[in-house]
Amino acid sequence: MDWLFAGTVAWLAGGACEGVAAPPAGELERLVVEVRRSLPHDPASFTQGLVIAGGELFESRGQYGESSLRRLDRQTGRVLDEKPLAPGLFGEGLAAVDDRLIQLTWREGVAVVWDRASLTETGRFAYPGEGWGLCGDGRRLYQSDGSDVLTVRDPHSFAVRRRLAVTLEGRPLRQLNELECAEGWIYANLLGSDAIVRIEPHGGRVTAVIDASGLLSQTERQQADVLNGIAWDAEAGVFLLTGKLWPKMFEVVFRRP
């Protein structure tokens, strides 16, 4: 991943696209975040997935023995409801499908299916390999595992439909982590960085790299872990961003510098 910051996108150390159209084929857009407002977030939450469904905010928490699914009050950060995962499960990416939530686990090969209203477990799907991020566009699910390939799945059966190789300027882009499907794109944060990429869902080309650095103050960063949590609020037209052990969540738009 080092080359990402060394060449074409060295600008990431600085810098925010509201209503930005797709760039011409082959052209990479460089975007930054514009913060509309900051909201409280539990600084003890090891955030692994974030999604808005039915006007409500849900969060997947990680770590063995601490993993759970939460319903949050967006304005205050208060936990409205929480269901723990079994101690042997490490919570990961989270997606909404109709009236259900699907929560990945890291190395356990289990996706837990929840009833969205009651947060009651209603079933499980099995899959090989690791689970990192998950998002849905209403017709399909996209799953990351830290590699440069996203697994495209049926949202109801979880069966594999195809594999999507992700490239940045023609080169495989690895460390794809938390995912969010929004406005016909796939957004992914890159593990260990403050970069978010916008991916074309059919061919896998990265069409934009977004600099999400500088959201936390220097003091806040000392206690926090990496950026990890992207949710799209279609009604408000903003993204929510947070991270592992972050004390804040941010409503942002992506724009040209």
Q: How many CB atoms lie within 10 A of CB 27?
A: 10
Q: In this structure, what DSSP letter does residue 218 have? A: H
Domain ranges of the chain: 2-255
Confidence at residue 67, expressed as pLDDT on a 0 to 100 scale: 98
pLDDT bin (cut points 50, 70, 90) of residue 25 is: low
**Model confidence band, residue 3 (pLDDT cutoffs 50, 70, 90):** very low
Q: Would you say residue 27 has pLDDT above 50?
A: yes
What tokens does 89 get?
């499960």
5-14, 39-48, 93-102, 113-122: which has the minimum mean pLDDT?
5-14
CATH code for the domain defined by 2-255: 2.120.10.30
18: confidence class by pLDDT, cuts 50, 70, 90: very low
CA distances from 23 to 81, 125, 145, 217, 239 (A): 41, 37, 27, 32, 20
User: Residues, the chain, total?
Assistant: 257
How far is the C-alpha of 253 from the C-alpha of 89, rounded, in Å?
A: 34
* Interval 195-224 mean pLDDT: 96
Give pLDDT tens digits for 123-169. 999 999 999 999 999 999 999 999 999 999 999 999 999 999 999 99
The phi and psi torsions of 134 (rounded to 5 degrees) equal -150, 135
| Percent of the residues in the chain that have a pLDDT greater than 70, as a whole number | 90
Backbone φ and ψ for 30, nearest 5 degrees, come out as -115, 115
